[in-house]
Amino acid sequence: MKLHELKNVPGAVHRKKRVGCGEGGGHGKTSGRGGKGQTARSGSSIRPGFEGGQMPLYRKLPQRGFNNYEFRTEIAILNVGELAALDTGLTEINAEALAAAGLIRKGEKTVKILGDGEITRALKVTAAKFTASAKAKIEKAGGQAIIA
C-alpha cells in the first residue's frame, strides 16, 4: 500500500451543503440561519464568552494568585558528563562554545552546570551557576569552575 493508493471509506466524504437554492432543497429562505437577529446577518460572529450583555462568568469570578511567566529567568541546564563529550580540542568552555556545539540554544547566556556524569579532562568552564558536586568534579579533574 502506497500513499497515492489510499482511498476514503464509502460515506466519509459528503458533498457541500448548498444553501439558498429554494424551498424544495430543504435549505432555502433563511439558509439554515433561523429567523432574524444577530446570527442571521452576514459577517456576524459573537466572541467566545459573550453572554448577550450579561456579566460574563470570567468577569464574575475572582482573580487569584500570581503568574511569574513574563518575569522568569531562563537558565540552560547542562551536566558535567555532557561537557566530557565535547570536542577534545576545547579547553575553555563558555555559553558561546556550548551553543556552537549544539548543547544549548543560541542566545542563551545563563548556564547552570549540574554534577551528573564524570569528567576526566581539565577544562576551564565559565558559567553563571555550578552545583557543589559539579564544581568538585571539574576541579578534581584539574580544571577550573569560573562563575560569570
42-60: b or e for each residue (b if 16 or more CB lie within 10 Å)? eeeeeeeeeeeeeeeeeee
User: CB–CB of 128/98 below 8 Å?
Assistant: no
Residues 106 and 93: their CA atoms lie apart, in Å, by 15
Q: Tell me: the pLDDT tens digits for 104-146?
A: 999 899 999 999 999 999 999 999 999 999 999 999 999 999 9
Query: Can you give the pTM of this predicted structure?
Result: 0.57
% of the chain beyond a pLDDT of 70: 100
Asked if residue 4 has pLDDT above 80, the reply is yes
Q: What is the CATH number of domain 70-147?
A: 3.100.10.10
Specify which residues 145 forms β-bridges with: 125
**Grid coordinates in use for 148?**
560569570
The mean pLDDT value for 95-110 works out to 92
